[in-house]
Amino acid sequence: MKNILLTIEYDGTSFFGWQRQPEKRTVQGELERVLSVVCRCPVQVNGTSRTDAGVHALGQRASFKGDFGIPTDRLVVAANNILAGGMNSIGKIGDLRIVSAEEVPEGFHARFDAKGKKYVYKILNCQETQIFSRNQYYQVRKSLNIEAMKQAALYIKGTHDFKCFQAAGGEEKKTTVRTIYDLQITEEKNELGKRTIFIEIKGDGFLYNMVRIITGTLVEVGSGKLPAEAVQDIVESGQRQKAGHTAPPQGLYLSKVYYKLEDLAGL
């Protein structure tokens, strides 16, 4: 029995999230449909992270098992061909793509063997409405104080009980303690000269909506609604209602999955 680990990217705009649902277009559902055709057998895919509707991925991982003859590299080409709509028309590109695939030991599981993940949250920080970025950025109109946001980020780095950054509705977790290995905030201009702010966050695990609530809290610090120091109190309080709003899904990208602790911790 082969066990294949995929690296995939997708634009989450037109998906009802990762998880298979009847009658709805989901990433897992699309992958299983296409891989079942290519492998000529029913395929069940296990993803590392169940991203929500509208959330994107640059480096989602997923594994699946089966007794199929097609070589791994041919499988990628064939599946991508179907995902891009058969590439019949010039310039046509799909919203889901397998970046690479590799054979892994039979006991390997894309989710349970993950040691951590990196997310990127993209903010567009300018006054005038930017319609062409609406599905890929969270547009914040008020000018953000990035230095205050960086200071607030220091209270989030490290090992803490992050109950304050957990939304209701996720699956039950044994503990709400997590380690954030890195939290970088950088800024750049986009091609139209508008200010973009990227929040990169690397951790051993994330609670439900944690990155989006952290982002909403940092945005409130950046806009002056919360002082940077308040974030220390918020974390210590463990109270969701003290933290900021949940930033919208379209700015969030699952960037990378780590299977080795030394890659995650940057040692």
181 binds its own copies (CB under 8 A): no
Q: Is 248 in the site for its own copies (CB under 8 A)?
A: yes
Is 38 strand, coil or helix? helix
Shortest distance (Å) from residue 133 CB to its own copies: 8
R_g over Cα of the chain: 20
How many Cα atoms sit within 13 Å of 227 on the Cβ side? 4
Q: Report which residue type is found at 14.
A: S
Distance CA 32, CA 43 (A): 6
Q: Is 119 annotated as a binding residue?
A: yes
x/- contact string, 74-103, with its own copies (CB under 8 A)?
A: ------x---x----xxxxxxxxx------
Question: What are the beta bridge partners of residue 186?
Answer: 198
Considering the complex, what minimum distance in angstroms separates the CB of residue 154 from its own copies?
A: 26
- The C-alpha atoms of residue 108 and residue 104 are separated, in whole angstroms, by 7
Between 47 and 116, whose beta carbon lies closer to its own copies? 47
Catalytic position from the list 52, 161, 182, 263: 52
Which one of 40-48, 113-121, 167-175, 241-249 is the stretch in contact with its own copies (CB under 8 A)?
A: 241-249
Give me the residue label for tokens 């009847």: 22
Taken in order 125, 126, 129, 133, is the CA torsion positive or negative? negative
Q: Which is nearer to its own copies, 93 or 261 (CB)?
A: 93
**What token pair was written down for 250?**
């379209």
Give me the count of residues in the chain: 267
Instruction: Write down the least CB distance from residue 227 to its own copies, Å.
Output: 22
Q: Cβ(50)–Cβ(41) under 8 Å?
A: no
Does 251 bind its own copies (CB under 8 A)? Our answer is: yes
Q: How many residues contact its own copies, by CB under 8 A?
A: 34
Find the shortest distance in angstroms from Cβ 92 to its own copies.
7
Strands 56-66 and 2-10, by their bridges, are antiparallel
Q: Rank residues 108 and 198 by Cβ distance to its own copies and give the closer one.
A: 198
Is 233 a residue of the active site? no
Inter-residue contact 15 to 26 (CB < 8 Å): yes
Q: Tell me the two tokens of residue 224.
A: 């002056």
Inter-residue contact 166 to 250 (CB < 8 Å): no
Binding map of its own copies across residues 129-168, x = CB under 8 A, - = no contact: xxxx-x-x-xxx----------------------------
Residue 47 CA, chain-centre distance (Å), reads 12
Segment contacting its own copies by CB under 8 A, of 5-13, 61-69, 176-184, 233-241 = 5-13
Mark the binding-site residues for substrate, compressed into ranges: 119
Q: Which residues line the annotated binding site?
A: 119
Catalytic residues: 52
Which residues are at the interface with its own copies (CB under 8 A)? 9-11, 56, 80, 84, 89-97, 129-132, 134, 136, 138-140, 188, 190-191, 196, 245-248, 250-251
